Amino acid sequence: MIKFDGVGKVYPNGLRALDDISLEIDHGEFVAVIGLSGAGKSTMIRAINRMHEISEGTLTVNGIDVSTLKGRELRRFRRGIGMIFQSFNLVTRTTVLKNVLSAKVPDLSLWRVLLGAFPRKDHIAALEALDKVGILEKAYVRADQLSGGQQQRVALARTLAQDPRIILADEPVASLDPVTARQVMDDFRRINRELGITVIINIHHVELALQYADRVIGIREGRIIFDGRSDRVNGDVLENIYGRDTEEAL
């Protein structure tokens, strides 16, 4: 379980990105976080794996106070949380398979890392991850020869190769066309349902959030405006979250 208890985040320039956030996310949920740009969506999900430090309150994951983790403990903790970015973050001049295998680097000895000598079991796990997102046939293709949607699927496969309990996705479909965006969202939903992995997505497209997520959290100016089932999101809720920009969000 992920638990925010009175969490606040103030940046050095004085900007308050999160303001008294309190909520719980259970194992296996599919949650979409929506709101205007700058509302605090990215800050909230990046606090979960401590990419962003919180300033106030307590954030626990499976009973572990995230702020107390240091060094090896923090690295081990992060291994259980996959992170997907809008920009894919692939090494484009190497193959798809090698990109997925990079998820295994923290588990290898130095000589294996230097020689790129991944054990057979890691190769099998990487190929299985590619199969789960439907691009196994691209394993030996260079990443820069793939479409944007395919590259995002490689990023998702790389995350699956970590064997995560939680996947955080920060605007994963923002740079994709509508058809491809839905295909990638299909992958997230299937992974959530078939593997039971908790998925938390910061997403700009409200329509996709409502279609794919079971739960929606709406944030405005660092505060939670709505937290509930996606089928309970209506025009009034969206107006509270987006104000005059409601039509643009849709």
Diameter of the chain by CA atoms?
58
| 107 Cβ contact partners less than 8 Å away, ≥ 6 residues apart | none
**Exposure string for 6-32, b = 16+ CB within 10 A, e = fewer:** ebbbeeeeeebbbbebeeebeeebbbb
- Vertex 178, ends 175 and 181: CA angle to 5°? 65
Segments making up each domain of the chain, as ranges: 1-80+168-176+200-250, 81-163
Per-residue pLDDT tens for 86-100?
A: 888 888 888 999 899
Residues in the chain: 250
What the block records as the tokens of 7 is 């969490």
pTM: 0.90
In single-letter form, the type of residue at position 200 comes to I
Going by pLDDT thresholds of 50, 70 and 90, the confidence category of residue 243 is: confident
CATH architecture of 81-163: 3-Layer(aba) Sandwich (3.40)
> Is residue 162 classed as helix, strand or coil in its secondary structure?
coil
Rounded-to-integer distance, Cα 144 and Cα 120, Å: 25
How high is the pLDDT of residue 92?
84
pLDDT tens sequence across 145-172: 999 889 999 999 999 988 899 999 999 9
Q: Which residue has the tokens 């996709």?
A: 208
Rounded to 5°, the CA angle 209-212-215 comes to 70
Q: What is the pLDDT of residue 119?
A: 74
| Token pair in block for residue 208 | 């996709």
Nearest to 158 by CA among 112, 109, 90: 90
> Which band of pLDDT confidence, cut at 50, 70 and 90, is reported for residue 183?
very high
Residue 200: both structure tokens together: 């938390």
Which two structure tokens, joined as six digits, stand for 150? Answer: 């395919």
Q: What is the pLDDT of residue 250?
A: 56
β-strands 166-170, 81-85 pairing: parallel
Domains 1-80+168-176+200-250 and 81-163 belong to one CATH topology: yes
Beta bridge partners of 2: 25, 61
DSSP 21-74: EEEEE-TT-EEEEE-STTSSHHHHHHHHTTSS--SEEEEEETTEEGGG--HHHH
CATH of 1-80+168-176+200-250, one of 3.30.70.260, 3.40.50.2000, 3.40.190.10, 3.40.50.300: 3.40.50.300
Whole-number Å distance between alpha carbons of 177 and 180: 5
Tokens read off for 32: 């979409």
